[in-house]
Amino acid sequence: MKQKSIFLTLGFFLCFWVQIEAQTNATVIRVIDGDTYQMLKGKRIFTVRLLNVDAPETKQSFGEAAKDSVNKLILGKTVVVDSLKLDRYNRVLASVSINGKALDSILVSNGWAWHYVEYSNKAELATMQEMAINKHLGLWKCGANKVCPPSVFRSLNAKNRAKYCNACSN
In a domain, 60, yes or no: yes
Report the C-alpha gap between 98 and 110 in whole angstroms: 15
pLDDT at residue 4 in the model: 55
Helix H, strand E, coil C: the string for 79-133 is EEEEEEEECCCCCEEEEEEECCEEHHHHHHHCCCCEECCCCCCCHHHHHHHHHHH
- Please say if 91 is a catalytic residue: yes
| Catalytic annotation, pick one of 91, 118, 124, 130 | 91
Whether the per-residue pLDDT at 101 is higher than 50: the answer is yes
Cβ atoms within 10 Å of 19's Cβ, excluding its own: 14
Instruction: Examine the residue annotation and report whether 154 is marked as an active-site residue of this protein.
Output: no
15 domain residue, yes or no = yes
Query: Is 124 inside a domain boundary?
Result: yes
40 residue type, one letter? L
- Residue 92, CA atoms < 13 Å, CB-side half-sphere: 28
**Looking at 57, 88, 124, 154, which residue is catalytic?**
57
148: Cβ contacts below 8 Å, ≥ 6 apart: 60, 61, 161, 164, 165, 166, 167
Question: How many structural domains are present in the chain?
Answer: 1
**Predicted local confidence at residue 18, as pLDDT:** 45
Structural domain contains residue 170: no
> Higher pLDDT residue, 65 or 169?
65
Q: What is the pLDDT of residues 12-58, one digit of tens each?
A: 554 454 445 579 999 999 999 999 999 999 999 999 999 999 999 99
Question: Is 169 a domain residue?
Answer: no
As a whole number, the mean pLDDT across the chain is 88
125 against 20, higher pLDDT: 125
Structural domain boundaries, residue 50: 2-164
**pLDDT at 7 > cutoff 60:** no
CATH number of the domain where residue 6 is located: 2.40.50.90
Q: Hey, is 44 helix, strand or coil?
A: strand
d(C-alpha 148, C-alpha 53), whole Å: 14
